[in-house]
Structures are given as C-alpha cells and as structure tokens.
Amino acid sequence: MAADAAPSGEAPPGRLAGHWVPLLVVAIGLGFGLLVLLVRLHLEPVANVDRGVARELNEVVSPRPYLVNALNGATRLGGRPVMFWLVGVAALLLLVRRRVRLAVYLLATTVGALLLDPSVKSLVGRLRPVVEVPVAIAPGNSFPSGHALGSMVVYGALLLVFLPAVRYRKLFTAAIALLVVAIGVTRIALGVHCLTDVLAGWLLGALWLSVTAYAFRLWRREAGHPVAPLDDGPEPEAAEAINPVPDSSRPIPHRWVKATEILTGWVFTFGILYVVGYLLTNHTEGTWLGRFDDGVVRWLQTLRTPTLDDVSWVWSKAGDTSAILVISLVFCTIALAVWRQWRPVVFLVLTMVGELILFLCTAASVKRDRPPVPQFDSPMPTSSFPSGHIAATMCIWVAIAVLIMDRVSSRWRWFAVVLAVVMPAGVALSRMYRGMHHPTDLLGAAILTALWVGLLWWVLRPNVRAAPAEMRT
C-alpha cells in the first residue's frame, strides 16, 4: 500500500495521518467541554442565542404542517429504530463475510454512543426548550441531542467501515455529512433541542468516533497488521469482502423487456383477484359458499380461550408489516453476503413490493366486509379480501423457499419448504380465529401468491448464476 511506502510509516501528503488523530481528539474534547461549561453556568448570551434560534425556527415551522411532516420524516433517520436496523444489518453482513473485527468495532462504537447519551444528559440535567407553538415532543433531558450524537456515531462508523468499498469517496462522505447535519437541524426546527444541544451532540459523537477509530488503529499496529491512513477505512484490506456484489456479477438482462412482462403480469393478476373478490362479495350471500365462509369463522369463535387468544396474537403478528420487513431485510442481507448476487434480492424485493400493491389495490376495489363476528383487532383501514397478512406471509416464505431450494444442497433446504407451509398456515388460522378474515380471503391470498411469485420466477429466473464480466453485453 502507498502508506507502507512512506518514510517512517507516515501517510502520504493530503491523507489523514494517524499522528494527527490525538490532536483532533483533544481539540474536539476541548470544544465539547467548553459547551458543557457554558451550559452549566447558564450564561445569558448563550441562553439568548438558543432561545432566539428556537423562536425563529418555530415561527417558520409551526404554521406549515407539510414542513412539520417533512421534518418528522427526516428526524426519524436519526432515531434509535433506524440506527439499530442499520447497525444490525451491517454487522450481520460483516459477520457472514467473516470480518469479525469490523463487526465488533461497529457494535462497540454504537453501544458506547448508546451509553454516553443518557449518562451525559443526566449529568448536565438541562430541560427541553420551550417554544410558543410546540410541534413535537421528546422525553428526557435536552443536552446533548441524542439524535445528533447517534447519527454522528452510527453514520460515521458505517462510513469508515465501508469506505474501502466505496468508489466515489468524497461524494459519499459529503452525503453522509449532509445527512448528519440535516438530522441535527430537524431537532432544532422541531423545538425539542437547542442549538447548543445539537452542537454538543455532534462534538461528543465526533469525539467518541475518533477515539474508537484510533483505538482500532492502535490495535492493528500492536497485532502486527499494516497501518494505513484513516481515510482508507479502519481495515482497507476488507474492500473485496465488504463489497456487496463483486464486479463479475451480471445484472438482469433485457431490463425493459422484463419490466414490461412484469407490469403486464401484474395487471392480469390484479384482474383475476378483482373478479374473484367481486364474485365472493356480491354473489355468495345465501349460497353454500357464503354459509361455509361465515360458519367456519363462527365455529372458530366458539373455541376462543385466553390462551388461544394470546397464541393467535403472536401468530398474527408474524404476518404484519414490521415482521415481514424484518424477515426481508435479514434474508436480503444474508443473501447478498453469501451469494454475492443482486438477482435473488431483486426477486424478493419485487415479490414483496408487488404483493403490497396488489393487496392494497384489490382491497380498495373489492371492499369486502369483515366476517360478522366479534373481532379482536382494532378496525382495519383495508377490507377483508384478500388477507394482507396471509398474502405477505405466503409470498415471503414461498419466495425464500424458491431461492433456497436451488442454491442449498444440504437437507436443511427442506426446512425452508416446511416454513413456507407452516408460517402461512399459522397466520391464516390466527386471522380467522380473531374474526378478521373468511376462509375465501385465504383463497385470495393463495391466488395472489401463486400468480405473482410464479410470474416473477418465470420472468427473472432468480436462481440463474451470474455471468462473468467479459460476457456482459
């Protein structure tokens, strides 16, 4: 590496050399300490600046609901749920690629920030700002901003870890910096933090990130590993391992043709679902099918017990949006890490996106009533046909089984087939037990899954192996 060729182990000019990091840590620490001192002393000039900025932004934001919604959406990118997901998915990718040191570094850095935030908040004990027209609320103390601290640490650590695999490093770094700044600004604009809270969060986050990065650098040196400039990332030799897909992978050919086929198939699938749903809604009342539909749900109602109520709640949650999203993210991460191809991920993503749109469009068009029994769940914004929970569960587990069956040679691949049967069956039974769906709503979910997953399998051929780079056209 270029850094190894430099005299006395120094980094080349213009690179972030390691011996500057202690000075940077000291400078950031002094800046943060000064802010703590100014806030603890309750100096009037500092308080006036904080109040003035909060007042001006509140006057701009509070009369504009669309701006409040935009700020709330942006500020969620710095919240703990998003942070946990990002770190969890990244750590999983690193572990699958056998980059344990980087995974430990990422997790340790994130956990440290998670502990620093409440600790410093309790020590300083600053209350939240008071604005004339509150547009958001936040619990706990105000100094420092947890969103500013967390976004600086998490996005900064992710930047350092994956920097060796990034092609346009300056652009990527600028985008991350802009995102961190934007998250901090939203906290001030929403009136839940003062300017000095956000500045302190950024400084404390930068301080902790610098300390952990330098500690990782020292550990590499003590372990005998070559020490590279920090702007090459903490482990530059991991570039190939952390790259999601190697250069030899071939994208899906004839994209526009495939897109046309998928769109056409989606329209036909929607048409079939609409016809089935319309007939069930308008032409089954008083028939044997209508009596069967209501009879099954009423019979399940007679079996209700507190224990079965709890079990049905758990099974029902296995098919809701959050659970399906978790399964999709985890599986896509593992698929990229192990198979290093985009095609299986594209297949799974299109499966779930198409299922969601098909379900929403069909439910809005058919408008079938829920079964005429007491229902456990709160009133749902969608109608009964088809069941969104059952369709999502069927699609995700059937798509996973399709991918695994052709790519895993061991007997464990049959476990995916078992899940593709057991999970939808459990969700379907729980939804009918809870009075949310008829048996024919399950039929609609099965039709949706068979047509949509079958279409995507036929068009995308998700188990076709990648072609070498020289064969690309």
- For 385-430, what is each residue's pLDDT tens digit? 898 899 999 999 999 999 988 887 777 778 888 899 999 999 999 9
Q: What is the pLDDT of residue 11?
A: 44
Amino acid at position 223, single letter: A
Q: What is the pLDDT of residue 180?
A: 92
Q: How many CB atoms lie within 10 A of CB 305?
A: 8
CA distance 54 to 41: 20
28-32, 170-174, 231-235, 279-283, range with the lowest pLDDT: 231-235
For 175-206, give the DSSP string.
HHHHHHHHHHHHHHHTTSS-HHHHHHHHHHHH
Q: What is the pLDDT of residue 19?
A: 58
Confidence band for 57, pLDDT divided at 50, 70 and 90: confident
* Tokens representing residue 390 in the block: 């059952």
Q: What is the pLDDT of residue 465?
A: 65
Higher-pLDDT residue of 91, 253: 91
**Proportion of the chain above pLDDT 70, given as a percent:** 88
Contact 451, 362 (CB under 8 A): no
Check pLDDT > 60 for residue 18: no
| Mean pLDDT in residue range 160-176 | 83
Q: What count of residues does the chain have?
A: 473
Q: What is the pLDDT of residue 471?
A: 39
258 to 146, 251, 290: CA distances (angstroms): 45, 12, 40
Mean confidence (pLDDT) of the chain:
82
Q: What is the pLDDT of residue 92?
A: 85
pLDDT in tens, 225-283: 766 666 666 676 666 666 666 555 556 777 788 889 999 999 999 999 999 999 998 88
**Proportion of the chain above pLDDT 90, given as a percent:** 22
Amino acid at position 449, single letter: T
Q: How many CB atoms lie within 10 A of CB 43?
A: 12
Check pLDDT > 50 for residue 299: yes
Q: What is the pLDDT of residue 161?
A: 85
Q: What is the pLDDT of residue 17?
A: 46
Higher-pLDDT residue of 439, 338: 439
pLDDT in tens, 108-141: 999 988 888 888 888 888 888 877 777 777 787 8
Confidence band for 97, pLDDT divided at 50, 70 and 90: confident
| Mean pLDDT in residue range 74-79 | 86
C-alpha gyration radius of the chain: 27
Query: Please, is 188 exposed, middle or buried when counting C-beta atoms within 10 Å of its C-beta (0-12, 13-18, 19+)?
Result: buried
Check pLDDT > 50 for residue 13: no
Check pLDDT > 50 for residue 2: no
| Mean pLDDT in residue range 154-170 | 84
Phi/psi of residue 115, each to 5°? -85, -30
Q: What is the pLDDT of residue 473?
A: 39
